[in-house]
Chain A
Amino acid sequence: MKDFSPGDGYKEVQHTADVAFDVFGQSLEALFFQAYRAMLAYVDIEIQSGSIKRGQMRINEIDHESLLVSFLEEILLKIEIGLCPEIEDIKIIQTDLKANYDIHKILSIQHEVKAVTFHQLSIAHVNGFRTRLVLDV
């Protein structure tokens, strides 16, 4: 997932209390990856070079929005115990997600994300995929 197309990305938008991003992706997988990048950019972590192990996550949810929330939450849970998953690939079939990642030890972290919210989360499919993502910090 290290390469992405020009239509992929994220942009921070103003939010008084928390942190919000507009996230774009040419595919659903790209959208999820950009959401992951946006969240990681906010928490601002320094990782130890060289992964300590590989891992895989599998999630099933009721829709794509819930899938995105659960995916990002899984990342947060690992960060909370000092581990950062570097996502290698994401595959989404309907409402099933499979992602492979390398795990790195976190050396330092600047900000905490308490939770991924459903507020204004609505994945639109028009010329690619986009959504607003609000994180409780």
Chain B
Amino acid sequence: MKKNDLEKINSFEWLIPKTFSKGLHVPVLIFADEEIIERCLDDKSLHQAVNATYLPGVLEKVCVMPDVHQGYGFPIGGVAATDVEHGVISPGAIGYDINCGVRLLSSNLLLSDVAGEIETLIGEIYSNCPSGVGVGSKVALSKKDLMGVCSSGANWAVRNGYGYFDDLDFIEDSGSLVHADPSALSEKAVQRGLPQLGSLGSGNHFIEINYVAEIFDEGTADVFGLKKDCLAVQIHSGSRGLGHQVCSDYVRRFQREAPVKNMPDRELASVMIESSLGKEYFAAMCSAANYAFANRQILTHFVRKSFKNLLFKEDLDLTLRTVYDLAHNIAKIEEHDIAGEKKEVCVHRKGATRAFGPGHRDLPDQYQPSGQPVLLPGSMGTSSWVMAGTEEASEKSFSSCSHGAGRVLSRSKAKKMFRGESIKRDLKNQKSIEIKSRSMSGLAEEAPGAYKDINQVVNCVEQAGLARRVAKLKPVAVIKG
């Protein structure tokens, strides 16, 4: 694909028209500046977005976020909505790590109150929150418990002592998707889920201690509980092996039991949402999403415990309040305006975050005036952003937004260019950021230089009207999975 295949709508929106290739059902709308567009053309991300336009029942347009990069099947940073009655659901347009997502916790603790204790604090969290390849959970789970987790999500976790009922108000869908049915999980998925609940995982998953460095909208930041110079914590994890197995199982079953002809990529295997197999996958996907909500809830509990273990002093307020918990690999049934009419659609978001604007009925009362918090973590050692959803995003992107910075370098290139040990040392010496990781090569793969500049992504998001800036967070300590 070349740049002149794209129509420039304005400085932050580009279109691949239906005329680009025969058989495209809808156009592709890309939110990006000129530089990001140039980079997109270096890999296969836009081709992958075009491939998704062949999905039966896809509606209006396939959207591409500014943090887009090449994935498998569908690009990371891709959004596609399909007709619930006459359209398909595709596991490859959701991803293997179902409900991979981010939770943000806020506090009233000033960085200056605990500055000397950050190294021991992150060490305490590291020992309480299992992380890295092959490292399982400390939570003993029976098969019956797992069924409860997959049915009730974060609600199960709270009922079993991991956190507070107030947390549930600030999780997408209260942390429990009602269409979940654990009987749709394979035995392999169950067996993989049992030893991993309450563990971070590896790759780009992380726990990060931040402080609020800058506030752009005092009123909204106040509603979100974000105060200048106070600590915040981000938790990025997903549904672990259970979610991976659900995706693997159903991609294979879809190909075997209901092959769709003329799709350009087998990874985009799909079935009609309303078919019995479609409903079964949706029930399994929701079960995996609930597992992920419970996983982040349990990790939150252990982060809180670590703060209390280490920082307990009578005059310190150690409350860590859940600001929001959102998914960025998921399919959701939502109501959107399609050709001027309200319609129930299945929004596939892969590496993209939901971004409901003010007044949306699915938001908690506190966030009705502001829109939902939208979390855009930066790469390790760089800033992260808290934004707020807009009404405009509902028209432009099925209420979706970027989920982070987005990679620019492959993992092998990153490993050739960076050394884990020097990244760790430089971040400590130059930016006073503590890093904990079991794998130095994993750290090299996640080097800040392997990602886009998060500030550029945030600028595109805001200029395109998908979300607005609320606060900027800076890291003080990071656990990399």
Q: Which residues of A contact B (CB under 8 A)?
A: 12, 14-19, 43-44, 61-62, 65-66, 69-70, 73, 77, 79-80, 82, 106, 109-112, 114-121, 134, 136-137
Contact = CB atoms under 8 A, between A and B. Distances in A.
Given A17-B69, A134-B72, A80 B96 contact: no
A66 B96 contact: no
Given A80-B241, A137-B411, 5 more contacts: A16-B410, A19-B412, A69-B252, A110-B439, A112-B203
B373 interface: no
Nearest to B73: A119
Contact of A44 (B76, B188, B413, B441): B441
A18 B407 CA distance: 10
A19 B411 contact: yes
A77 B96 contact: no
Contact of A111 (B45, B71, B409, B442): B442
Most buried by B among A16, A65, A77: A16
Contact of B203 (A14, A66, A137): A137
A121 B134 CA distance: 27
Contact of A18 (B72, B256, B269): B72
Interface of B: 43, 45, 69-73, 76, 92, 95-97, 133-134, 188, 192, 201-203, 241, 244, 247-248, 251-252, 255-256, 265-267, 269, 407-413, 439, 441-442
Given A115-B96, A134-B72, A14 B266 contact: no
A117 B76 contact: no
A114 B247 CA distance: 10
Given A77-B188, A136-B96, A17 B70 contact: yes
Contacts of A73: 248
Contacts of A70: 252
A110 B203 contact: no
B99 to A, nearest CB: 14
Contact of B267 (A12, A77, A110, A118): A118
Nearest to B243: A114
Given A17-B70, A111-B202, A112-B201, A118 B251 contact: yes
Contact of B134 (A66, A82, A117, A120): A82
A62 B192 CA distance: 25
A133 B151 CA distance: 35
B441 A110 contact: yes
A14 B72 contact: no
Contact of B409 (A16, A44, A82): A16
10 contacts: A16-B43, A19-B412, A73-B248, A111-B441, A119-B72, A119-B73, A119-B92, A121-B266, A136-B96, A137-B203
A44 B267 CA distance: 26
A127 B266 CA distance: 24
Nearest to A118: B266
B412 A14 contact: yes
A16 B248 contact: no
A82 B192 CA distance: 12
Given A109-B134, A119-B72, A15 B267 contact: no
B409 to A, nearest CB: 7
Nearest to B51: A119
A117 B72 contact: yes
Nearest to B439: A110
Contacts of A114: 96-97, 203, 244
Nearest to A63: B255
Contact of A14 (B71, B96, B267, B410): B410
Nearest to A80: B241
A67 B130 CA distance: 34
Contacts of B251: 118
Contact of A65 (B69, B95, B266): B266
A76 to B, nearest CB: 9
A46 to B, nearest CB: 12
A114 B96 CA distance: 7
A18 B451 CA distance: 14
Contacts of B442: 110-111
A110 B133 contact: yes
B43 A80 contact: no
Contacts of A106: 134
Contacts of B92: 117-119
Given A109-B133, A110-B133, A112-B201, A117 B267 contact: yes
